[in-house]
Structure 1
Amino acid sequence: MMTNLFSSFDPSSNTLLSLNWMSALIMFIVIPPMFWFIPSRLNMLWISIILLLHNELKILIKYKAFKGSTIFFSSLFTFILLNNFLGLFPYIFTCSSHLNFTLTLSLPLWMSFMIYGWTKNYTFMFAHLVPQGAPNTLLPFLVIIESISNFIRPSTLAIRLTANMIAGHLLVTLMGNSGSMIPPSLLMILIIAQIFLLTLEFAVAIIQSYVFSILTTLYSGEIN
């Protein structure tokens, strides 16, 4: 019985060497050998998914000078997706459920977009603060609102991913800890509910990684 519900998200270790964050690097050990073998059905399925994502990201960027940018955003999608999937396995620390991990992804990306936009295309960045056709009396307020919404983008990206991963894991933890306190007649219902929640978490892991990469692509397209 856990004394604290949020202890499942505590990146602590009983050993002297903390290996919790090593789960974020597991995919770099697993994925590279796949490229040395003859493509299997799993490889072809993954290639088709990446090509589908490439076509969607190419439409969102809308800038021909950014050739190869879809490779970066597809890699970002893969990195977050695999970290979300690893968190569904028992005894593996969920990196994407902590803000220090998600902010490390969102903040440098947002900073690079802002630095590039304000140094290379500052006229467009100023024009982006004022919506087209807005009345003159509302222009000062619109500039403030647009500036605030622009500054909170990295935090909203990070909090969205973290909150969604924490919420599902908390439900699974709550239901799993209640197994020893319910009568045996209701145990099958609990197992079915746990399977349903794990399926839902599987879908959330895909959706949140997709949303993160799509929003990052949209933010990059706004600086041109």
Structure 2
Amino acid sequence: MMTNLFSVFDPMSSIFFLSLNWLSALLGLFITPFLFWVMPSRWSTTWSFISFTLHKEFKLLLGPSALGVSIIFVSLFSLILYNNFLGLLPYVFTSSSHMAFTLSLAFPLWLAFMVFGWYNNTQHMFSHLVPQGTPSLLMPFMVLIETISNIIRPGTLAIRLAANMIAGHLLLTLLGNTGSLVSISILSLLIFAQILLLTLEAAVAIIQSYVFAVLATLYASEVN
């Protein structure tokens, strides 16, 4: 029984008082390996086409010097995507709606970019702090603004993904809880609205995965 609106996002499970709900993030590991040893199917061909298209796009953003780095961001897109879609299934915990999950993806990537950039391309990183054509009087303020915007990047990446995933789930939960309190005629409209929202959530799951991967790619391209 749901004690409050946010209990559906509670990562704690009642089984041995362990956070077993986080195991939902591993469900993709039981699905993905089949693509590598079963005979080619329409699904595997489609996913290969999507991965190859994303690889070409990320490689274009990263530039010619990034050899196989784009594969990392294609894998990141795949990880977030199947976690987002798993959260749309009934009784499956949505790990991507928690900051613990999203920040664990965003912060190590950002930290790796910063360490690599400042260690190998120090002058290039300094040039990003002052945009070209900035008046001398505004340079200290621009350095401060650019530094702050750089520091909050992992937070904005994590919050964007978690907030978009949790907002739609909350709306679906709110509408679903009112089903037992309305008449049959209104219930049919409610079910139709739920189907539309579920379709919208499926689109959001794809879009947010793509946005997260593209922004991470753009942040990586700035340190080259």
TM bucket normalised to smaller: over 0.9
Q: What is aligned with 1:29?
A: 30
Q: What is the alpha-carbon distance in structure 1 between the residues aligned to residue 6 and residue 198 of structure 2?
A: 19
Q: Secondary structure at the match of 1:131?
A: coil
Map 1:57-206 → 2, pairs under 5 A? 57-62=58-63, 64-206=64-206
Q: What is aligned with 1:40?
A: 41
Q: Secondary structure at the match of 1:109?
A: helix
| CA positional deviation for 1:29 | 1.4
What is the aligned-residue RMSD (CA, Å)? 0.9
Tell me which moved more, 8-17 or 206-215: 8-17
Q: Secondary structure at the match of 1:203?
A: helix
| CA positional deviation for 1:33 | 1.9
Q: What is the alpha-carbon distance in structure 2 between the residues aligned to residue 110 and residue 185 of structure 1?
A: 51
Task: Give 1:193's aligned amino acid.
Answer: A
Q: What is aligned with 1:20?
A: 21
Q: What is the alpha-carbon distance in structure 1 between the residues aligned to residue 23 and residue 14 of structure 2?
A: 15
Q: What is the alpha-carbon distance in structure 2 between the residues aligned to residue 112 and residue 101 of structure 1?
A: 18
Task: Give 1:60's aligned amino acid.
Answer: L
Task: Give 1:69's aligned amino acid.
Answer: V
**Structure 1 residue runs of 4+, over 4 Å off?**
none
Q: What is the alpha-carbon distance in structure 1 between the residues aligned to residue 207 and residue 111 of structure 2?
A: 24
Give the number of equivalent residue pairs.
223
Q: TM-score, normalised by structure 1?
A: 0.97
Q: TM-score, normalised by structure 2?
A: 0.97
Structure 1, unpaired ranges of 5+: none
2:59–2:66 Cα contact (<8 Å) kept? no
| CA positional deviation for 1:4 | 1.0
Map 1:205-220 → 2, pairs under 5 A? 205-220=205-220
Task: Give 2:95's aligned amino acid.
Answer: C
| CA positional deviation for 1:42 | 0.8
Q: Secondary structure at the match of 2:66?
A: coil
| CA positional deviation for 1:3 | 3.1
2:11–2:93 Cα contact (<8 Å) kept? yes
Q: What is aligned with 1:8?
A: 8
| CA positional deviation for 1:185 | 1.4
Tell me which moved more, 85-94 or 1-10: 1-10
Q: What is the alpha-carbon distance in structure 2 between the residues aligned to residue 210 and residue 158 of structure 1?
A: 13
Structure 2, unpaired ranges of 5+: none
| CA positional deviation for 1:58 | 1.1
Q: What is the alpha-carbon distance in structure 1 between the residues aligned to residue 69 and residue 158 of structure 2?
A: 21
| CA positional deviation for 1:28 | 1.0
Q: Alpha-carbon deviations, 1:198-224, whole Å to 9, x = none?
A: 000000000000000000000000001
Q: What is the alpha-carbon distance in structure 2 between the residues aligned to residue 65 and residue 140 of structure 1?
A: 32
C-alpha change, 1:36 and 1:145, in structure 2 (3 Å) is: same
Q: What is the alpha-carbon distance in structure 1 between the residues aligned to residue 36 and residue 192 of structure 2?
A: 38
| CA positional deviation for 1:65 | 2.8
